[in-house]
Amino acid sequence: MLGDIADRISRQLNRGTEVILAALMVALVLDVWIGVVDRYFFHWQLPWPEVLARYLMIWAAMLAVSSGIARREHIGLTAVLLNLPAPLRRAMLIGIDLMTFTLFFYVLWFGIGFAESGAKRQAMILGATLQPFYAAIPTAAALACVQVVLVMVRDMGRQLDLPDTPSEEGAGA
């Protein structure tokens, strides 16, 4: 019951995150294209494509972490777990989720101070400070914290109990 609610919230939150991810990816591709086209055709000598690309990439990669958590795509070693009796395995998987929460809570906690420190630093583009870019870290950590709690409630350590179905998506690069 609680698991279903958690599942629904997790999905909706992730759907929103993924819309932003797609938008960031499009922006990234366009940004680098503009840099190339500028050099060959327009000669505007834009100062921002390289810098902006790095910051967009960080926003995209960090936000995607929560999406990977929602879909349990961050892979660990399962050899030991799979050889444990189910109750013990579930306890350990819940333990891992709690430790993951701790890690991202740490990142969130100190990330807020980090983002604030960015307000006093110049980004050297568009007259902005580094704050909007540094904010990627606490924002993504907060999302990750929420998602890890939601999927923990959803799965309660049972995610490895399901019969082995071949995953439909490539396992990374």
Partner 1 sequence: GGTIRFGHDNKTDPFENPAHACTAVFQNIVTADTNGSVTVEVFGSNQLGTAAEHVQQVRDGVIQATLTSTGALASYYPRIDVLNLPFAFANNASTYSVFDGEFGETLAADIEDALGDVVVLGFPDTGGFFAVTNSQRQIANLEDFDGIRIRTMTLPSHQKIVQALGAEAYPLSWGEVYSGLQTGVIDGQMNPVPIISFANFAEVQKHMTLTNHLFSPYTFMVNKAFYEGLTEAEQNTLHAAAESCVTASRGLSRIIEASDRGLAGLMDKIEVTALSADQRAAMAGATQPAFEAHVAENLDAKAGELLTLFKSEVGKANDASYLD
Partner 2 sequence: MIVGLCFVLLLAVGMPIGFAIGLAGVIGIFTMGGGTTFLAIGPSKIFNGLNIFPFLAMPFFILAGEIMNSTGITGRLVKLAEVLVGRFRGGLAHTNMLASVFFAGLTGSATADAAAFGRTLVPAMVKQGYKRDYACAVTAAGSIIGPTIPPSGLMVVYGSLMGVSIGGLFAAGLLPGLVICAVCMSVIAIGGKRENLPKAERGATLGEIWQTFLSSITALLMPIIILGGILGGIVTPTEAASIAVAYALFIGFFVYRTLTFRELYAMLVRTARITGVIFVIIAFAGILGWWMSFERIPQAIASTVLGLSDNPYAIIAIIICILLVVGMVMDITAILIILGPVLVPLTEQIGLEPIHAGIIFVLALNISLMTPPVGACLFVLSSVTGEKLERISVKLAPFLIAEVIILFLFAFWEDAALLLPRALGFAP
Could you tell which of partner 2, partner 1, none binds residue 125, using a CB distance below 5 to 8 A set by kind?
Answer: partner 1
Q: How far is the CB of 81 from partner 2 (least distance, A)?
A: 4
- Determine if 124 is a binding residue for partner 2 (CB under 8 A): no
Burial 66-99 (b: 16+ CB within 10 A, else e): bbebbbeeeeeeeeebeeeeeeebbeebbeebee
Binding-site member from 24, 146, 150, 151 for partner 2 (CB under 8 A): 24
Cα–chain center distance at 152:
17
| Pairwise CA distance, residues 3 & 148, whole Å | 13
| Pairwise CA distance, residues 173 & 73, whole Å | 13
Residues 64-103 that bind partner 1 (CB under 8 A): none
Q: How many residues sit close enough to partner 2 to count as binding (CB under 8 A)?
A: 65
Q: Which residues bind partner 1 (CB under 8 A)?
A: 38-39, 43, 45, 47, 50-51, 117, 120-125, 130
